Structure 1
């Protein structure tokens, strides 16, 4: 038993190290805590007693008590509360953790204590946090998979969300962004009479013009509604042109193509006439709004958030569409970040996104790569040489280019071409070591098999350097290969590339679109070994939920669940088959967790007892309803 306990201790210590948390085992280097533990015996004798780990993160005191046996996780009393009887405190993880937490709350100056009862091992376990305050009041919190939410970077956010049940600063910021998007959408419609396709172009064009105000080539005060000499639209258009040149967008044909998309700003009369209600032109009103509400956020942000992409998505939702009619399904920020982590992106990678949309993947990649860059020369190289993209739709190409410029990508290596028409061998010369893609959905058919999502995936793989990592988000149906054309593509992929695994996602990942997505990961240019075991993960429970009037939002469990996913993906820990199955594959298989999963758990006595109880309850219910013949052997014969 001692050996099992030691193994659990080591596993817990590894979790703490991974989260960047330093706790002391069997005592404390903090004098106040160590003195309190001198009277913390579980026997209640007033003698010394030590939890497995104890320590402080910011102003939170963390205490951990663990047991190797899952059946020793918690013991409740007759009232359904955690028992504090001496025997239960000694024998059960949560009971012991609560005992130590309350003792430290009473005998130290710490007012915020989080105690953890942990049982099991690396593969099968339970981690249960309990919040305890200085009055010894306690509240059980949601079970977790790691300690990532309790390190110095995350613990205050966890406390705000889980203990205080209040909105965090990031959530408040998101609510403000969505409200601003709604307000701007209404103004664009009411004062500009603009079509859905034109709204994001006006927004992104004005944002480019505002960049010129830093160089004193543009001023909102100059927008005076003059119809005879230079209109507001012409002034903004001129500032856009100057900023494109300043950003070194080249060649000229590319710059001219982008600029032509912004002609609506100077050519639409209603935008350039003084509105009586506003007492200024709609363009000036939009510019003032964007300067205050949006431009400052984009300019000063260090996050990988795709601000223009979020606004674009909000415009579509407010106009009653989901964006698909305009050929775009925007990828949420938490997915673009997850892509970078799954491929373990580094500062030397060259990233290709052949279906760039609003450039969300490239922005996320740039953000993750710049964090690793140690010199200004390397940062310049990342921005100017290591981010490549294609976008077919001219308006989306313009928005994507604008988005990259606003993030400091001076050269913006985006091309307004159809990726499928590009030669794979020619694209290989770009030297891309990472491919990321969210292809157009539901465009393929037997007449147009090249438009199947799996066909886009194959072309991306063929376009990368051998050994490159590729990650795509596509509908789950792409992994089943329903048509013979799709099956043929899957077969070709295995002949020339390696499938690393597939992660089934939350059905609401693309909230409002109705797509059941998954993430597929590959190694390009290396034939799939028949004996290779791929990972198939069920990540539907990702810690995100749908909030009314907002959409998909992050809960406090999201960080923990993502950390668990990454730990399993990179073989840092084992997982139960209900979360991850490792198996060999064939092209005719459905490359999804649900296809390979089998329940390999042996039911324990409590589960057997529950099944018996459920049956007896059912039988009693039927007897009370005069349906006893259901249990009469002779009556059951026809």
Structure 2
């Protein structure tokens, strides 16, 4: 009886066969220890190895090929020598390189040819300027006639597919790499696209990985890097990310090796990072005062003496910078359309000793709720969206994402789409945030998203904002037609003061806000009455009590408005009890995911959007007990949280059941008494 241990690997034969092809095509390939170029060599060395250690990734073969447009493509090849060791896929048909806890699955990476090659490709995606990589796995075995049979897997790993790896096609040799065939091969590679559904799935997967990485990073810094306050940690992450973003052809990303941990004045690690940030911001089309504010804010942390002090040849700053780049670099390099810094913010602030009341004011909106608000506010590519308490800009990120998707779906010209996308980012989003540390995160978030940071303003939206653009068209009013908000609940009227001001400055459109539900039942009566004088309340949605589990246990509602149309007493309001949104939440620090879709959550969220837009005909998963159409008194201001009335009148069926139950009880009693009587008489 044979086993894998007794079957001899034919890897040398496979390598000989494949390298023979490369030689035949006259390709300049490099074997294991040979250098391809310093950037790729360094990336492979810096990335965690196949076995889970630090560095030392050594593909069997490396190439760097150029297409007709002079674009370079790193090619990484990994050989194995056993049957069934080509590729290991997960249940979704993706290269299975992650465990259920979102950690690298080193067993698969080490054992399967394609998995290993995709792992190497991610090293290059993570640590170099290359965004399109070809990962090739090849394995084989001796058949019954002692002839070598081989299998080849060719996968595309790129920024566009979040580094996950997509199969390109079926190949029996490496002739697709030859000079004559390479351009056609790249055309095929470029034609591979993910569907919107696949993109959403991959984004969710990557977001779970981000959560795990942020927890790990914060734990590490919290436990091992003494003397860093919570703001220091946030600013260090922001500074490290900005310094390593780079601008192609203009500003090179800061490399870890450039931090020399020198004690020389003006050349300490903090000075080097600060100069790189300055160079990056100088190339960004931002107002001078905004640039200076960012530099000043980060400078306070980066230039402190303790963090730059050299011990054992390394400063604390370099150590922290290295951890940040190694743990998070891949996620902002692949350009996720997610509230990256919102996740960062929530994780960093999760360690703070805030009182519960104060916590309520810094809790940020979960991304799936942000998306719901954006859809309820009917955001599309032509919307002008603003947020008067923007936090880390998570709601604006969600809005921008929705706008870009709509623009992409309605465009037939790549050139026009590029122009429209730039306009969305620079002109169609505006956010205000008063707290400097949170404002910094909002700026960083929008820079990471491709730069919608132009009109993120460090202002008091209630006192210092008159409705104008903050940058560019500063003399013009921002033509807002969509308002989204998760206000600080300690503000007047639980935050309805923000709603009143924003809606009063709008001429048309829709608004969706998530707020403590006492705002609709008595805490904000005067604000609510003023709001209804020129706006219509369309819906009141009761959200799950554990929506912000671990951060706050406040009961929230979403209120949806139509702008500039006064509310009449006969206007129908849709009251929806969304206490069961389909998600199960936990608050376990070590859990790989504290949010699980256990009952059609995505479908439920879409149903809410449809119900608010189209009414009762869209009831499907939700029941009539959870959906109720009623009216409010515009002069009341405290009747916004209604539930479907419970009919207490008995029906004929109820009556029949009651009579039936009573008769059954009577008969039972009679029989029981009869039996007792018989027993007594000795029958």
The TM-score range, normalised by the shorter chain, is 0.5 to 0.7
SS of the residue 1:582 aligns to: strand
Post-superposition CA distance 1:401-446 (Å, at most 9, x none): 11101111165211111000145576892111111111111233xx
State the match for 1:581 in structure 2. Answer: 628
Q: Is the contact made by 2:525 and 2:637 (CA closer than 8 Å) also made in structure 1?
A: no
State the match for 1:236 in structure 2. Answer: 273
Q: Is the contact made by 1:192 and 1:282 (CA closer than 8 Å) also made in structure 2?
A: no
Post-superposition CA distance 1:438-488 (Å, at most 9, x none): 1111233xxxxxx64122211111122x22211111000001024xxx212
State the match for 2:572 in structure 1. Answer: 533
- Mapping for residues 406-485 of structure 1, pairs under 5 Å: 406-409=448-451, 411-422=453-464, 429-444=477-492, 452-464=494-506, 466-482=507-523
Deviation at 1:343, TM superposition (A): 2.0
SS of the residue 1:455 aligns to: helix
C-alpha separation in 2, matches of 1:283 and 1:608: 78
RMSD: 3.4
Deviation at 1:563, TM superposition (A): 2.4
Distance 1:170 1:431, change over 3 A: closer
Post-superposition CA distance 1:80-134 (Å, at most 9, x none): xxxxxxxxxxxxxxxxxxxxxxxxxxxxxxxxxxxxxxxxxxxxxxxxxxxxxxx
- Picking from 479, 489, 499, the partner of 2:537 is 499
Q: Is the contact made by 1:299 and 1:407 (CA closer than 8 Å) also made in structure 2?
A: no
Matched, 1:402 2:462: no
State the match for 2:304 in structure 1. Answer: 268
SS of the residue 2:231 aligns to: coil
Post-superposition CA distance 1:159-213 (Å, at most 9, x none): xxxxxxxxx9777655543332233223333325211222211111110011138
State the match for 1:124 in structure 2. Answer: none
- Mapping for residues 285-364 of structure 1, pairs under 5 Å: 285-303=319-337, 305-321=338-354, 325=358, 327-364=361-398
Q: Is the contact made by 2:381 and 2:424 (CA closer than 8 Å) also made in structure 1?
A: yes
Deviation at 1:546, TM superposition (A): 1.5
State the match for 1:378 in structure 2. Answer: 420
Q: Which has the larger radius of gyration?
A: 2
C-alpha separation in 2, matches of 1:205 and 1:499: 43
Q: Is the contact made by 2:378 and 2:510 (CA closer than 8 Å) also made in structure 1?
A: no
State the match for 1:245 in structure 2. Answer: 282
- Picking from 551, 555, 569, the partner of 2:612 is 569
Distance 1:155 1:401, change over 3 A: closer
Q: Is the contact made by 1:237 and 1:265 (CA closer than 8 Å) also made in structure 2?
A: no
Structure 2 gap ranges (5+): 1-91, 94-194, 412-416, 470-475, 669-683
C-alpha separation in 2, matches of 1:154 and 1:213: 30
Matched, 1:523 2:545: no
Distance 1:564 1:425, change over 3 A: closer
C-alpha separation in 2, matches of 1:208 and 1:475: 35
Matched, 1:181 2:214: yes
Q: Is the contact made by 2:243 and 2:273 (CA closer than 8 Å) also made in structure 1?
A: yes
SS of the residue 1:197 aligns to: helix
Distance 1:205 1:604, change over 3 A: farther
Post-superposition CA distance 1:571-614 (Å, at most 9, x none): 26254441221122114264445455334998795998599879
- Picking from 509, 533, 548, the partner of 1:510 is 548
C-alpha separation in 1, matches of 2:320 and 2:424: 33
Deviation at 1:249, TM superposition (A): 1.7
Normalised by the size of structure 1, how large is the TM-score?
A: 0.64
C-alpha separation in 1, matches of 2:525 and 2:262: 62
| Deviates further, 561-570 or 362-371 | 561-570
Structure 1 gap ranges (5+): 1-57, 60-151, 158-167, 445-450, 621-638
- Mapping for residues 142-221 of structure 1, pairs under 5 Å: 173-174=206-207, 176-189=209-222, 190-212=224-246, 215-216=251-252, 218-221=254-257
C-alpha separation in 2, matches of 1:354 and 1:176: 30
Post-superposition CA distance 1:302-360 (Å, at most 9, x none): 43x21111111111223444786374221110011111211221111111111110000
Distance 1:173 1:371, change over 3 A: closer
State the match for 2:123 in structure 1. Answer: none
C-alpha separation in 1, matches of 2:573 and 2:406: 29
C-alpha separation in 2, matches of 1:615 and 1:194: 76
Q: Is the contact made by 1:358 and 1:396 (CA closer than 8 Å) also made in structure 2?
A: yes
State the match for 2:602 in structure 1. Answer: 559
SS of the residue 1:419 aligns to: coil
Q: Is the contact made by 1:231 and 1:266 (CA closer than 8 Å) also made in structure 2?
A: no
SS of the residue 1:198 aligns to: helix
C-alpha separation in 1, matches of 2:344 and 2:373: 22
State the match for 2:414 in structure 1. Answer: none
Matched, 1:393 2:439: no
Q: Is the contact made by 2:582 and 2:604 (CA closer than 8 Å) also made in structure 1?
A: yes
Q: Is the contact made by 2:210 and 2:331 (CA closer than 8 Å) also made in structure 1?
A: no
State the match for 1:547 in structure 2. Answer: 586
Post-superposition CA distance 1:133-158 (Å, at most 9, x none): xxxxxxxxxxxxxxxxxxx977999x
Distance 1:213 1:280, change over 3 A: farther
SS of the residue 2:629 aligns to: strand
C-alpha separation in 2, matches of 1:182 and 1:470: 34
Q: Is the contact made by 2:372 and 2:609 (CA closer than 8 Å) also made in structure 1?
A: no
C-alpha separation in 2, matches of 1:372 and 1:284: 42
SS of the residue 1:356 aligns to: coil
Q: Is the contact made by 1:298 and 1:406 (CA closer than 8 Å) also made in structure 2?
A: yes
Deviation at 1:283, TM superposition (A): 2.1
C-alpha separation in 2, matches of 1:377 and 1:170: 25
State the match for 2:30 in structure 1. Answer: none
SS of the residue 1:545 aligns to: strand
SS of the residue 1:412 aligns to: coil
Distance 1:285 1:370, change over 3 A: same
SS of the residue 2:310 aligns to: coil
Distance 1:616 1:209, change over 3 A: farther
